[in-house]
Amino acid sequence: MAEADAASPIAPGTETRTEPAALASLTTGSLARRMIAIAALWISVLLIGGGFALDRVLTGAITRNFDSSLEYVLIAMIRSSEIGPDGEVRLIEPLGDQRFLEPYSGLYWQISGGGQEPYRSRSLWERTLKSPKPHVDTGLHTYDSTQFPDEQLRILERNVILPGSKTNWRFQIAQSRQALDEQIRAVRATLIPSLGLLGVGLIVLAALQTFYGLWPLRHIRRAIAAMRGGENRRVIAPLPLEVQPMVEELNALLAHNEKQAEEARLHAGNLAHALKTPLTVLLNSAAGSDSELAETIRREAATMRRQVDHHLARARAVGRRGAAQARAVVWDSVDSVLRALTRLHPDVRFDEAGDKTLVARVERQDLDELIGNLLENAAKYGGGSVFVTVQRAGGMAEILIEDDGPGISPADRQRIFDRGVRLDSGKPGTGLGLAIVRDVAEIYGGSVALEESEDLGGTLVRLKLPAG
């Protein structure tokens, strides 16, 4: 079947390119997730700190309001107190709240001092208010007490010396904390869900802002994908001012790379054409002589010419691929090549079938060269019948070329792609055909493989190129 020449070794010190898959793994995580995480953390810190401060403020305000009502009663109790004939304390007029008369109502008062039995409200019944420890409160003293097992108390007390008495009397007002705690719980039941909902809303807003702010980067990604797919040559989408400088630098880099690639391609082409003329002269000069030197010149000049043709074909393919605008209808190329081969091989039967509208992202001249090499090999080494199928396989344009020849053994199917390898040296050839096909196909992002034809019994060549 086909021919190719020997692969050249990699020169020492040559840098190997990092594969795209390896480059894709070199990331530092999602920029959007990082921004959202920072925003969520900062929002959480602010809401927790602000919520704690607001809870302290509201709780303190409710508690002060609660204490103010008790202080009002305490002042009224001190104002209506006097010393009786026996030196005991008594109230000139009763306190107006009915709860002072109901046992265990949750609102209590008590006056104690001078070693006498405490004078207390009926609501205390048999119980007595106690101070945490002996002390004298010249000012208002407020504290919480758990002296009643079934009831937590908020107590306000103050020591007063009444007119006509030298005794330091302690006036105490106590009220159950149940009402106060219920008010605090009601405030917190509203505050905590409100702050939580506010936090979720702010995080969602930060996420939307992040995605909206980073959306132009998706435009850039799609534009780059379009350039790689050959739809555009530059990023031309309108973008925000913050992103536009980066896009301009990217477009400048693309232009610079295209210019360098074109210069390299022209240089390779000029060098190749410059070498072809002296090689042709050497071959023609050696053709008329049968000496050993002439044979050596013919052999080495042919090898040099194969290398020149091979690298010239690669340079052309790389230069055309750099344009990223290549498109070719596969059926038209197959049909054109078959018409030419029918005249060169009139004894071979060529048949074709498949998708007549399938487009490949490849330059038409390179596609003709790929198909021409493969069909010429099939005609040359087959048994007289060649069948071509054009079809789509996923995102690839697939060209199947089958012949009814002896086929290629599985052991030789990979080796034959090496440059200079020929399985049948009895027929003319340079050993370059399949090497060019493989290299040019890979330059365009495609592949070529050899298999066994189930229908014709010979070799099946499967050529894949990116579909348009």
Predicted pLDDT at 29: 74
Mean of pLDDT values over 6-24: 44
Predicted pLDDT at 95: 83
Q: pLDDT tier at 433 (50, 70, 90 boundaries)?
A: low
Q: In terms of pLDDT, which residue wins out, 183 or 263?
A: 183
User: Would the pLDDT of 151 be above 50?
Assistant: yes
Q: pLDDT tier at 32 (50, 70, 90 boundaries)?
A: confident
d(CA 190, CA 57): 15
Among 109-113, 272-276, 448-452, whose mean pLDDT is lowest? 272-276
Instruction: Please provide the distance, in angstroms rounded to a whole number, between the alpha carbons at the two ends of the chain.
Output: 30
Q: pLDDT tier at 5 (50, 70, 90 boundaries)?
A: very low
Q: What's the CATH code, domain 326-466?
A: 3.30.565.10
Q: What is the pTM (predicted TM-score) of this model?
A: 0.52
Mean of pLDDT values over 218-234: 75
| Tens digit of each residue's pLDDT (9 = 90 or more) over 390-417 | 999 888 999 999 998 888 888 777 777 7
Mean of pLDDT values over 234-250: 79
Which two structure tokens, joined as six digits, stand for 61? 């305000």
3-state SS assignment for residue 297: helix
Instruction: Choose among 411, 418, 415, 412: nearest CA to 432.
Output: 418
Predicted pLDDT at 464: 92
Share of the chain above pLDDT 70, in %: 81
Predicted pLDDT at 211: 86
Place of tokens 């109790």: 77
Q: In terms of pLDDT, which residue wins out, 143 or 312?
A: 143
Within 394-452, where are the H helices? Answer: 433-443
- Give the domain ranges of the chain: 98-176, 257-323, 326-466
Predicted pLDDT at 25: 55
d(CA 170, CA 86): 18
H or E stretch covering 113: none
Mean of pLDDT values over 148-161: 91
Predicted pLDDT at 424: 52
The 8-class DSSP code of residue 125 comes to: T
| Tens digit of each residue's pLDDT (9 = 90 or more) over 310-363 | 666 666 655 555 445 668 899 999 999 998 888 888 898 999 999 999 999 888
Q: In terms of pLDDT, which residue wins out, 254 or 419?
A: 254
d(CA 317, CA 366): 7
Which two structure tokens, joined as six digits, stand for 399? 């060209």
Predicted pLDDT at 387: 92
Predicted pLDDT at 41: 94
Mean of pLDDT values over 197-222: 87
What average pLDDT is seen over the chain?
A: 81
d(CA 258, CA 243): 23
User: Would the pLDDT of 65 be above 90?
Assistant: yes
Q: In what order do the strands lie in the sheet with 385-393?
A: 349-354, 385-393, 396-403, 459-466, 447-452
Q: In terms of pLDDT, which residue wins out, 156 or 249?
A: 156
User: Would the pLDDT of 193 be above 90?
Assistant: yes
H or E stretch covering 18: none
Place of tokens 């082409």: 269
| Tens digit of each residue's pLDDT (9 = 90 or more) over 257-293 | 777 777 777 777 677 666 767 777 777 777 666 677 7
State residue 163 phi and psi, 5-degree precision: -60, 135
State residue 10 phi and psi, 5-degree precision: -80, 130
Torsion of CA 260, 264, 269, 274, to 10 degrees: 120
Predicted pLDDT at 189: 94
d(CA 338, CA 344): 10
Of how many residues is the chain composed? Answer: 468
Q: In terms of pLDDT, which residue wins out, 65 or 22?
A: 65
3-state SS assignment for residue 129: coil
User: Would the pLDDT of 102 be above 80?
Assistant: yes
Predicted pLDDT at 38: 92
Predicted pLDDT at 290: 66
